[in-house]
Amino acid sequence: MKIPLLCLLFVSALAAAGAAEQKVVVAMMPKAKGNAYFISCKAGADIAAKELGAELLFDGPVDTNAAKQNEIVENWITLGVDVIAVAAENKESLSTALRKAQRQGIKVIAFDSDAAPDARSFFVNQATPEGIANTLADEAARLTGGEGEIAIITATLTASNQREWLKRIEPRLAEKYPRMKVVAVRPSDDLKDRAQSEATALMSAYPDLKLIMAICTPGVPGAAEAVKQAGKAGKVKVMGLGLPNENRRYVKEGVTDCVILWNTGDLGYLTAYTAVKLVTGELKPGATSFKAGSLGEKRVVGDNVLLGEPFIFTRDNSDRFNF
């Protein structure tokens, strides 16, 4: 293969001449770009790109789709971007494409959900699946007093992040809170309306239900609306993963008890920052910390750049978040 060789030659020649005047091109791929979670990621990344004078491409499937992610990465490879940042829908399938990118001299990092470790240089880690699952389980236990029936609403039965979390929530509950029981797991197709119907059915099928946990962002407002319409606000607790703006109304009304979230804007900012600094050589493998613009000093553990702890969004702090 001559191309990588030529590519290397060019890179070294250019580096020697110091002629790299064009902007660094950062290509960032969410799992689903219509998802509010990733929309606010992009807003953060845009700020970082502006500060650093980089160009940001932000594209991904409209709804989670491993095959489309592959195709987009392959497009970027032939487009010759400088660095690719991905939130991998499926580790296995995307990593093949990412390794190909690395062979062509493109830097690769992952954010939100990791790719295979050898297919990327860094992972911008907002939380491990364990972290999310444990926080969800612990909050559920806090709200229910550690006992009773709970139901879970997911995006689709096949979405991989949902599986990761589910797989960890149930053992955590069994181990720490044996008197809590997951009675049903229902899909919502990432549709708020469907989540509402499912929550309504769950409440009537399980009259002793104490809590509905939605682990996809459209699910939380959907479940909350159902609980509100059933007049069971307070009796059936609602919690889940979501964004402040979609849930503020219900949190203020006391229907939704808590929403767990990351500062997704910061996640996007940190990802874009890491990406650019990796290209310019200011962040090298083996570093233990690096300065990420307005976020200040961030810890690097191994090849994980850590964002920090999740927020728990409740009635008391609902006005502090605007995203």
Instruction: Determine if 197 is a binding residue for other proteins (CB under 8 A).
Output: yes
Alpha helices per DSSP H over 206-296? 219-229, 244-253, 264-280
102, 134, 200, 280: which one binds other proteins (CB under 8 A) = 200
85, 140, 202, 261: which one binds other proteins (CB under 8 A) = 202
Instruction: Name the residue type at position 220.
Output: V
Give the residues across from 306 on adjacent strands: 125
Instruction: Determine if 112 is a binding residue for other proteins (CB under 8 A).
Output: no
Site residue total, other proteins (CB under 8 A): 79
Please state, in angstroms and rounded to a whole number, the distance separating the CA atoms of residues 305 and 295. Answer: 12
Part of the chain binding other proteins (CB under 8 A), chosen from 85-93, 266-274, 282-290, 307-315: 85-93
Torsion of CA 261, 262, 268, 270, to 10 degrees: 180
Is the CB of 69 or the CB of 135 nearer to other proteins?
A: 69
Torsion of CA 255, 258, 263, 267, to 10 degrees: -110
Residue 173 is inside which H or E element, if any?
Answer: helix 160-176
Say which residues have a Cβ less than 8 Å from residue 181's Cβ, sequence separation at least 6.
148, 149, 150, 173
Is the CB of 158 or the CB of 289 nearer to other proteins?
A: 158
Instruction: Determine if 75 is a binding residue for other proteins (CB under 8 A).
Output: yes
Instruction: Determine if 187 is a binding residue for other proteins (CB under 8 A).
Output: yes
118, 128, 130, 158: which one binds other proteins (CB under 8 A) = 158
Part of the chain binding other proteins (CB under 8 A), chosen from 58-66, 107-115, 174-182, 285-293: 58-66
Instruction: Determine if 160 is a binding residue for other proteins (CB under 8 A).
Output: yes
Instruction: Determine if 287 is a binding residue for other proteins (CB under 8 A).
Output: no
Is the CB of 196 or the CB of 263 nearer to other proteins?
A: 196
List the one residue out of 168, 256, 254 whose CA is nearest residue 217. Answer: 256
The minimum distance between CB 226 and other proteins, in angstroms, equals 7
Please provide residue 18's backbone torsions phi and psi, each rounded to the nearest 5 degrees: 65, 35
Instruction: Determine if 223 is a binding residue for other proteins (CB under 8 A).
Output: no
102, 156, 314, 318: which one binds other proteins (CB under 8 A) = 156
Q: How far is CA 299 from the centre of its chain?
A: 19
51, 68, 117, 146: which one binds other proteins (CB under 8 A) = 68
